[in-house]
Amino acid sequence: MKRILSLIVAAALTGIACSKKAEEAPKAEPGSERTAAAGIYKDGLDELFKHPKLARADALPKGIQWLTNDSDPVFASPNAKKGGTYYTYMDSFPLTLRTVGPDSNGSFRSFLFDNQMDLLHIHPETGNLTPGLATHWATNKEQNTLYLKLDERARWSDGVPVSAYDVAFSLKFYLSKEIVAPWYNTQYGEEYDTITVFDDHTVAIKSVNKRNLQDLVYYATMEIRPRHFHEKLLDKDWVKNTNWMIEPNTGPYQISKIEKGKFVTFARKKDWWAKDLKYFKNRFNTDFTKVTVIRDPNVVFEHFKKGMIDALPLVIPEYWHNKATGEPFDKGYIEKVWFYHQRPQPIYGVYFNQDVEILKDKDVRIGISHALNIDKVLKTVLRGDYVRMETNTLGHGAMDNKTIKGRRFDLAKADAHFKKAGWAERGPDGIRVKNGKRLSLRVTYGYATHADRLVILKEEAKKAGLELTLQKLDGAASFKAMLEKQHEIAYTGWGAQDRMQYWGQYHSDNAHKTQTNNFGNVDDKVLDPWLVAYKDEFDLKKKAELAHKIQQRIHDEAYTVTLWAAPYIRFGHWRWMRFPDPVASMRSKDATTYPFDGDWGGVFWIDEDIKKETQAAMKAGKGFPPVTLIDTRHKRG
């Protein structure tokens, strides 16, 4: 699920110095073979449990009611075939193979994160909990503790068994200053009371607060770290020393080959411990997944049309309507899929850095909001395929404040607010001036494919006397600039969250410092207590009321302008890439973009016979019936 931790889809990662030759992946720290042979890693347990938030106990409390789920329907296809290679791409190379700490929070991280299994997963159709690293779960009557029985079959990729000591160590890891990750330090420090280990495979995670079951699972489960790998490395040099190490994982794939700046290849574990479990069987089918750096989106599309990439997102209207045409599509070599879902939506918006003097003025922020012609973007380059995102949440049911309407393009209102802020005078080019300074702000972004949207916003803003200069950086560089608060206005997107996480983006604890997600440097003492109360509220009705207040305050203060959403999956794929029926679910991500996702990923397979058939037909100039699948069964409204 990667619930709290997988926030970012915005940043694609950048290139670094390239090696000339492909190399095998770096090996795990020496000692893994010894611990694998010895079984559960138990060295230094007395030292581990000296940590104030970790404890041991001999017996579980009485009355624990264990739950599991082996009754929900399977969703993978029994027709799936193992084998082949899935070819995909990234627009820049990762700055690190760490998934925590400096420079780690970019889009490539999902390939790594998704190969660390969750303690519990969510069924993509029913929404029910299903087993992951844990087979059973329970809560106490106080509703502040989650009990877990770990699967005794679970193994790290180096063969070491997963244990309750890994769960305990993970909390110590996230609280460590050595990882240089202040968000993790604060989040886990404030959220977790204690972790208690009862035996090698039974653990209790106690929250500081009473929570309903949904929130308890959401907050209490975490990304588990291999203790035997990290413990001896966790010192002041941890960030540097682990930058290019391969962390042992629990998922279906592990990195097998790297050429820095060029590609990363993942190999399927033939003996993966979970391969025959009910909700994982017939998934994660390709032997290899190769992720190649292709920086230019036009080159990406040409590679796709030639079959050098197996699938490509076609959410961008220009791609779906104009580019995804011609012989490969007309002759049925490439098939198109448009599948509406009801997942929470990613949050695309502009974030005003209030440490920039001009943007401290609320009237300036409101004026800018009225100077952005979002509707024109929706009607033109987005072809009416997207919807306006009125506030910073969509798809969370009762948690969404549906009374809020985003500010529309209105030159009169923009003028009134700019004048109120003292920007009444205009220069000879029509841009407002104040005390000799132009009303000019830099917009930092990292999506080449979104440039046409920003150009429209830029040109329309001139009518309001606002100059927006566009700073295009590659994905990782743009996100790094935002983390370091070097932007004035950040244009970015946040990954869809099962539970809205306002604290990281809006609490003052995360303002005026680097390596946090508070890109607006929002420092609002009115908002702060609501953010904490929302996170801790047990009652869902009261939680929704708090969510509405938070959204209203963010809107009223114009801390951000949310833009648009595409409530569907839309992609093209070569016909040798096969899917279950249906190709997606009501809650699923795009499996072609997130091939390792634990809840839905890995449902496709490469049919080598169909691939040979297709390649032969292409050589002979023959074709197949064209296929465009549009599935509206879960379309909202």
pLDDT digits (tens, 9 = 90+) for 437-462: 999 999 999 988 899 999 999 999 99
Position of tokens 């090698």? 200
Instruction: Round to whole Å and give the CA distance between 128 and 591.
Output: 20
Residue 337 has pLDDT above 50, yes or no: yes
| H, E, C per residue of 465-511 | CCEEEEEECCHHHHHHHHHCCCCCEEEEEECCCCCCCHHHHHCHHHC
Instruction: Round to whole Å and give the CA distance between 511 and 503.
Output: 11
- Cis previous bond, 582, omega within 30: yes
Element (H, E) at 293: strand 288-293
Judge contact between 252 and 268, C-beta under 8 A.
yes
Instruction: Round to whole Å and give the CA distance between 133 and 433.
Output: 59
**Given this model, what pLDDT does residue 636 score?**
81
Q: Which residues contact 515 (CB under 8 A, 6 or more apart)?
A: 102, 180, 181, 182, 183, 483, 484
Token pair belonging to 583? 């190709």
Spatial strand order of the sheet with 437-438 comes to: 425-426, 432-434, 437-438
Phi, psi for residue 23 in degrees, rounded to 5: -130, 155
Among 388-402, 566-580, 609-623, the range scoring the smallest mean pLDDT is 388-402
- 3.10.105.10, 3.10.450.50, 3.40.640.10, 3.40.50.300: CATH of 347-565: 3.10.105.10
Cβ atoms within 10 Å, residue 526 = 9
pLDDT digits (tens, 9 = 90+) for 283-300: 999 999 999 999 999 999
**Given this model, what pLDDT does residue 22 score?**
41
**Given this model, what pLDDT does residue 38 score?**
54
Instruction: Round to whole Å and give the CA distance between 175 and 134.
Output: 23
- Specify the fold of 23-263: D-Maltodextrin-Binding Protein; domain 2 (3.40.190)
The closest alpha carbon to 84, from 590, 570, 614, 600, belongs to 614
State pTM to two decimals: 0.82
**Given this model, what pLDDT does residue 486 score?**
96
Instruction: Round to whole Å and give the CA distance between 298 and 451.
Output: 13
**Amino acid found at 223:** E
Domain ranges of the chain: 23-263, 347-565
Beta bridge partners of 89: 292
Strand 253-259 relative to strand 263-268: parallel, antiparallel, unpaired?
A: antiparallel
Residue 376 has pLDDT above 70, yes or no: yes
pLDDT digits (tens, 9 = 90+) for 341-359: 988 888 899 999 999 999 9
Residue 20 has pLDDT above 70, yes or no: no
Confidence of residue 218 (pLDDT cuts 50, 70, 90): confident
Beta bridge partners of 63: none
Instruction: Round to whole Å and give the CA distance between 506 and 524.
Output: 8
The closest alpha carbon to 249, from 75, 401, 98, belongs to 98
pLDDT digits (tens, 9 = 90+) for 52-69: 999 999 999 999 999 999
398, HSE (Cβ side, Cα atoms, 13 Å) = 8
Instruction: Round to whole Å and give the CA distance between 560 and 538.
Output: 28
Residue 7 has pLDDT above 50, yes or no: no
The closest alpha carbon to 570, from 318, 227, 211, belongs to 318
Instruction: Round to whole Å and give the CA distance between 406 and 349.
Output: 12
Q: Please state, rounded to an integer, the average pLDDT across all residues of the chain.
A: 91
Q: Which residues contact 158 (CB under 8 A, 6 or more apart)?
A: 28, 32, 33, 35, 36, 229, 248
Residue 82 has pLDDT above 60, yes or no: yes
Cβ atoms within 10 Å, residue 63 = 8
**Gap between the terminal Cα atoms of the chain:** 27
Mean pLDDT of all residues in 227-248: 97
Instruction: Round to whole Å and give the CA distance between 573 and 311.
Output: 4
Say what percent of the chain tops pLDDT 90. 82
**Given this model, what pLDDT does residue 342 score?**
87
Judge contact between 95 and 101, C-beta under 8 A.
no
Instruction: Round to whole Å and give the CA distance between 488 and 432.
Output: 17
Is the torsion defined by CA of 101, 353, 344, 289 positive or negative? negative
Instruction: Round to whole Å and give the CA distance between 299 and 119.
Output: 39
Q: Which residues contact 268 (CB under 8 A, 6 or more apart)?
A: 82, 252, 253, 284, 285, 286, 287, 288
Judge contact between 480 and 519, C-beta under 8 A.
no
Angle in degrees, CA 126, 132, 178, rounded to 5: 125
Residue 19 has pLDDT above 90, yes or no: no
Instruction: Round to whole Å and give the CA distance between 209 and 145.
Output: 9
The closest alpha carbon to 234, from 418, 29, 54, 483, belongs to 29
pLDDT digits (tens, 9 = 90+) for 123-163: 999 989 999 999 999 999 999 999 999 999 999 999 999 99
Instruction: Round to whole Å and give the CA distance between 287 and 528.
Output: 48
Q: Which residues contact 69 (CB under 8 A, 6 or more apart)?
A: 123, 128, 129, 130, 131
Decide if 23-263 and 347-565 have a common fold. Answer: no
Instruction: Round to whole Å and give the CA distance between 207 and 211.
Output: 8
**Given this model, what pLDDT does residue 55 score?**
98
The closest alpha carbon to 377, from 443, 274, 286, 450, belongs to 450
Is the torsion defined by CA of 286, 292, 294, 299 positive or negative? negative
3-state secondary structure at position 615: helix
**Given this model, what pLDDT does residue 32 score?**
38
Instruction: Round to whole Å and give the CA distance between 29 and 263.
Output: 23
Say what percent of the chain tops pLDDT 70. 94
**Given this model, what pLDDT does residue 344 score?**
86
Phi, psi for residue 137 in degrees, rounded to 5: -145, 160
Confidence of residue 519 (pLDDT cuts 50, 70, 90): very high
Among 13-17, 389-393, 432-436, 558-562, the range scoring the smallest mean pLDDT is 13-17
Residue 13 has pLDDT above 70, yes or no: no
Taking phi over 0 as left and psi of -120 to 50 as alpha, with beta for the rest, 521 belongs to: left
Judge contact between 139 and 146, C-beta under 8 A.
yes
Position of tokens 């009801």? 342
Instruction: Round to whole Å and give the CA distance between 265 and 290.
Output: 4
Q: How far is CA 61 from the centre of its chain?
A: 36
